[in-house]
Amino acid sequence: MITRADILVLGLSAAIIGGLVGGILLFAGMSLVMGGQNAGWIAMLLSSPICGGIGYWMAKRLANKHGLLASKKR
């Protein structure tokens, strides 16, 4: 059973790691755009989906740890 502590740790860790990764990508993208490189827009636009993917991956790992996801066996 997943406890409140597990959910709290998941939320805090996903927010911190996602914020750091997103901030770094946003900074790199803005630096490139300010320098005249149009490729920086890609880093800026992908920073949010990557942060969301990190949180999703962490939640899925927690669910697998507690056996809540049905594994696909082929």
d(CA 10, CA 24): 21
pLDDT tens per residue across span 14-28:
889 988 998 999 999
Task: Pick the range with the lowest mean pLDDT from 4-8, 37-41, 70-74.
Answer: 70-74
pLDDT tens per residue across span 32-48:
999 999 999 998 898 88
- Domain map of the chain by residue range? 4-64
Helix (H) or strand (E) holding 35: none
pLDDT at 28: 93
d(CA 19, CA 6): 20
pLDDT tens per residue across span 51-67:
889 989 998 888 888 88
Distances (CA, A) of 31 to 42, 46, 51: 12, 15, 19
